[in-house]
Structure 1
C-alpha cells in the first residue's frame, strides 16, 4: 500500500479496501485532518456560525452578495448558495450579522467609480438568511459621508458600534479606521472617531497607506480589534491588533491601544495573509480564524481562503501564530465527522495517465499526466446508502498561461461536468470540490482530460449530512 493508508495513527473504522490482482484486503482509514484550504478562490472571507448549527459564509464577489450555508466549516466551498442582488458595482467585503432577531448584510458599493465607495446595509427577518426577503435599508454613514469600506458591527454592553475603513478627506492619501455609535443596526447616530491610522513601518511600506478589514472579538473584558495593514496587493499584507477594555469609553480614541508589531504575517510559503473573520468549531470548543492569502508569491489580488485554529494569550488577546504550513495537514475542527481519503495513486489509470512522484503530495505520489483525450483516473467507491456526498480533491494546475483548468468529472458513467482547478503552479496544491450523487453499493468516480491540465493528490468523500457512512474502494 502507498500513501496515507500506511499511516498507523489514523483510525480505521471497518471500511474495506480491496486491491486488484488478488492482493491483500486492507482497511481504509477514516481521516480526521485536512490541508486547510476551504475555498480555492476568493478574498475578504466572512463566516458566521449561527445557533441553528450552520456556518454562513460570504466573500467579495464584486457584483452581488453571495451567501453559502454549510453544516461544516471545511465543506463551505461545496455548500449551496443564495445570491442577494444589491445593485451598484464594486461590492466589497460583505458581512452577515445577526442582531436583535434579524439578519443584516453590510457591504461596500460604488457606482463604477471607486471614489464613490460607501457602506450600505440590508435586512432580513427570516430565521434563515438564505430564505425570505432582503430589504434595502440604505446607506449607513455618519454626517461626513466620506469614502468607506469594510464595515463591521461591534456589540458590547448592550450597545452597537460601527467600525470601518475610510478616507480622512476626499482623496486617497491613506485608509484609517473609524468608529461610530449606532442607534439601531442600520443607523449611525454619532460622528465618526478615528481610532487608528497607518503609522508603523509595516503599515506604511506601500502607498497609499492602509488600515482596513477591522474584525472584533471579545474575551475576558478585552476587545481585540484585528485589522489588515500594508498593501493588500503585496506580499507584505498582514494583520495588526488594537485593544480596548469593554468598560472604557469606546468613543474616546485614547481607549484604543495599537500593538507595535503585526500578529499574523507571511510564513511557511504563504504570502499576504489578511482580512480575516473569527468563528468556532462545530462543537464550540475551538476558536478558528478564516483568512485569505495570495495563491503564490507575488500573486497580488489573486487569493484563496484558508482556516486554522488559534489560541489565546494571557492578556485575553488572540494568539494567531503563523499561517499553517500548506503541505502539512491539520486536525479537522472539533465535532466535524471524519472523511474517507483515496490517494490519487490508488486509482485505476487509463490512456496516458499514471501515478508519479509528488514531493509535496500527501503520500509522495499523485495522479497525473491526464494529457490526452483518452486519459483518466477512476476510483471505485462503495457507499452504504444512496444520497448526496461532498467530493473534496487536493488538486494542482500549472498550465502555461495562468488560466484555470478543469478535469471532466463523471459518476457511474453518467454525463461529465467540469471539475475546476485554479492555476497556482504544479505542486502548489489547492482544493476543488463537487457535490455528487452516489447510489448504494459500488460507484465509479472518473476524472478525465478537460480544458488545460490538472493533477490530483487525493480525493476525500464525505456525506452531506455528515453521517459516518462506510465506503470501500478498489
Structure 2
C-alpha cells in the first residue's frame, strides 16, 4: 500500500522531491508506508532499470516488473504452473528469480503429495526460454540435495534453495533435513553444495548451520531456512530465517564467510538475531535484498505476520538498511505499518 499524502507534506527537506511544473497533479509523492503488498517470501531482483518480483500463488508462479521498488506488483504475468503429475504437482513454495551466466532461472520448492504433513518437498529449477524473465520457462527438473552424488539415490527433503556465485564457482544453498522422515515436525539445517551449472548439483551436500542457539529455536521445533545471499565490499553473508514461520518469534540470523572455502563449515561465522520483530511488528522472515534505483541505498524486503496468532497470514514490508564498521549489515528495528518513509533514492524526480 503506497501512502498518498497531501502536496504540502509530500516532500520534506533533503528528501527526493517530486518535480512540480505548476500543476499540483504532477507532484509525485516521495513517501510510502508498509505494508507494500500482501504475500510472503518476497524475492526481488534488480536488472537494469527494472525490479522483478516473483511469488507463488494458487499453484502458479507470477513475475512482476516495475521501475518503482515500493510499487513492486506491476505488469504481473503467470510464467509457470504446477504440472498435473510428477514430483512437483503440489505445494509450490518460495520461488526465486536469478540471472546466472546470462540466463534467467527460477528456483522453487514443490512436493508430490498435497497438504500436511509436508514430507515430500524438494527443490526444482526452471530455465527461461528467452531473454525475457516474464516469458515461458523450461522445467529443468529436480535438484539433487542428498548424500550420494554419484548415484543420486535417496534424494532428501529440501526447501528454499538459493544460489551463490563466488570465485567463479556456483553453489546451491538450501534448508534440509538430515534424513527423510514421515513427519514435517523435523529440525531443518542449512546445506551447501557445488553446482556444475545452474540446474545441476555436482557435489555431496555439507551442513553449514544448525539451529542450536536459543534464538533459533524459540519453541519445540528448531529451524534454519530461507537463506539469502548478501554481498558488500568483498564480504559474503548468508542471511537466513530462524524459528517457526507461523509464529511471531520468526527472525533473521546471519552467517559470514570468514575463510576462503564456502564448503568448509568452519569458514562460516554465525551471529544473531540480526533482525527481529517488536511489539508492533511480528514474525519477520524470509528476506531479500536490493538497491535503490540510483544504487545509493541498500534495501531489505521481508514478510511479517499480521497478528501474533499462529498461521501464515502475511504481508510484505520494505525499509533501507546500513552497514556496521566491521562490514556487517545493520538492519536496526522494523518500521511499523503505516509509518511514512522516504521512497528509495532515485525514485522521484529531482
Q: Give TM-score scaled by structure 2 length.
A: 0.86
Match of 2:29 in 1: 31
Map 1:295-310 onto structure 2 (within 5 A).
295-298=306-309, 300-310=311-321
* SS of equivalent residue, structure 1 residue 203: helix
Greater strand percent: which structure?
1
Q: Which has the higher contact order (CA 8 A, sep 6+)?
A: 2
Q: Report the Cα offset of residue 86 of structure 1.
A: 3.3
> 1:150 maps to which residue?
160
Look up the match of 1:80: 76
Where in structure 2 are there 5+ consecutive unaligned residues? Answer: 84-88, 148-154
Indicate conservation of the 8 Å contact 2:42/2:288, yes or no: yes
RMSD of the TM alignment (CA)?
Answer: 2.1
For residue 13 of structure 1, report the CA deviation from its aligned partner. Answer: 1.7
Kept after mapping to 2: 8 A contact 1:140/1:188: yes
Distance 1:149 1:136 in 2: 17
Structure 1: gaps of 5 or more residues: 18-26, 339-467, 469-474
Distance 2:133 2:8 in 1: 44
In the TM superposition, what are the counterparts of 1:121-160 in structure 2 within 5 Å? 121-131=125-135, 133-144=136-147, 145-160=155-170
Q: Is the 8 A contact 1:44 1:60 kept in 2?
A: no
| 1:191-217 Cα shifts (integer Å, max 9, x gaps) | 100001111111112232110000011
Structural mapping, 1:452-463, within 5 Å = none
Aligned match of 1:188? 201
Q: 1:337 to 1:124 in 2, by over 3 A?
A: same
Give 1:208's aligned residue: 221
Q: Indicate the SS of the match to 2:123.
A: strand
Name the TM-score, length of structure 1 as normaliser.
Answer: 0.65
Distance in 1 separating the partners of 2:301 and 2:143: 26
Which residue of 1 is the match for residue 288 of structure 2? 277
- Per the alignment, in what secondary structure is the counterpart of residue 73 of structure 2? helix
Q: 1:13 to 1:235 in 2, by over 3 A?
A: same
Kept in 2, the 8 Å contact 1:117–1:149? The answer is: yes
The offset of 1:135, in angstroms, is 0.9
Q: Partner of 2:62 in structure 1?
A: 66
Contact 2:62 2:76 in 1 (8 A): no
Question: Aligned pair 1:219/2:232, yes or no?
Answer: yes
**2:261: which partner in 1?**
249
2:209 and 2:66 map into 1 onto residues whose CA distance is 35
Following superposition, the deviation at residue 8 of structure 1 comes to 8.4
CA distance in 1, matches of 2:202, 2:32: 45
Query: Which protein has the larger Cα radius of gyration, Structure 1 or Structure 2?
Result: 1
Change (3 A) 1:316 1:162: same
CA-to-partner distance for each residue in 1:296-339, whole Å, 9 max, x for gaps? 3326310001111111112222111111132321111111136x
1:16 deviates by 5.0
Number of equivalenced pairs = 323
